[in-house]
Amino acid sequence: MKRLTTLPSFLAASTLAVAMSLGAGNVSAQPASIETVEGQVQERFGNDFVVEANGERILVRNPSHAPLNLEQGDVVTISGRRGEGSIHAREILQSDGTRIVGFAPRPMTSPHQGPRHQGFGYQADMSHLEEQLGERGFGQILHAEPKGSHLRVHTNASNGMPVEVRFEHDGSFREWRIKRPGNTRPRLGEWGSVPMQEISQLVQQQGYDAPRIIDTKGRHLEVLAQNSRGEAVELHVDYAGQVYREKRHYTSGFFN
């Protein structure tokens, strides 16, 4: 399968179209409607992709924030809100009708039926979510809160610290973060911080391989690494060397 290119010309054309529309005095924008588009996959742009439908190239915004198992030439059907040269997908179906992105509910199989879990109607079930939490050393679900782009779950770490975990709507793990006030984390050079050259070693001691610092912030560093499950992750590490956030890291170029 040939490697697909990025989309500077496509994005530039979309931006120009928007600018021309605004310049023409179109200030009374109409609310976007739900539309269904069938098209052939052409290119990838990060986790999003472009389809060609009826001679039009449309950028499909992927709501799952995760790469999809698609190849150039695949025919897909997308339902979502149309924008200028794009569609924000709510559902994506393969040509055989298989749903690869969507919000259709399925019956819950978890015994959790209390008020704190009511309203959870996404594709994943609570027992599967708690299984993933247990694999990462977290406790049971204390509260589940569906959001537009993810499911937010509150739990505790093994040391009792409150943890917020985010799952995709299909139940796959997106990220976790320890909920701590920012002022409890030292700045570089403050009491409690460690020398920069020790950060990578401390990250490795917490179960991560090949850590690489990519950015420094006021109270934390951003680090790319590989977790114990072999996943590429982005970490937030405070200047004391403690990892307090991990999220799946996706890069462009999935088509080979």
Q: Phi and psi of 18, rounded to 5°?
A: -65, -45
Which pLDDT does position 181 carry in this prediction? 64
Which pLDDT does position 176 carry in this prediction? 94
Which pLDDT does position 207 carry in this prediction? 94
- 3-class SS string, the chain: CCCCCCCHHHHHHHHHHHHHHHHCCCCCCCCCCEEEEEEEEEEEECCEEEEEECCEEEEEECCCCCCCCCCCCCEEEEEEEEECCEEEEEEEEECCCCEEECCCCCCCCCCCCCHHHCCCCCCCCHHHHHHHHHHCCCCCCCEEEECCCCEEEEEECCCCCEEEEEECCCCCEEEEEECCCHHHCCCCCCCCCCCHHHHHHHHHHCCCEEEEEEEECCCEEEEEEECCCCCEEEEEEECCCCEEEEEECCCCCCCC
Which pLDDT does position 1 carry in this prediction? 45
Which pLDDT does position 93 carry in this prediction? 86
Measured between alpha carbons, how far is 86 from 78 in angstroms, rounded to an integer?
Answer: 11
Q: Which domains does the chain have, with CATH numbers?
A: 8-25+32-101 (2.40.50.140), 103-179 (3.10.450), 185-251 (3.10.450)
pLDDT, averaged in runs of 10, over the chain (256 residues): 44 44 44 77 80 89 71 88 81 81 45 41 68 89 84 88 88 86 81 92 95 91 91 92 89 37
Q: Phi and psi of 200, rounded to 5°?
A: -60, -40
Which pLDDT does position 64 carry in this prediction? 63
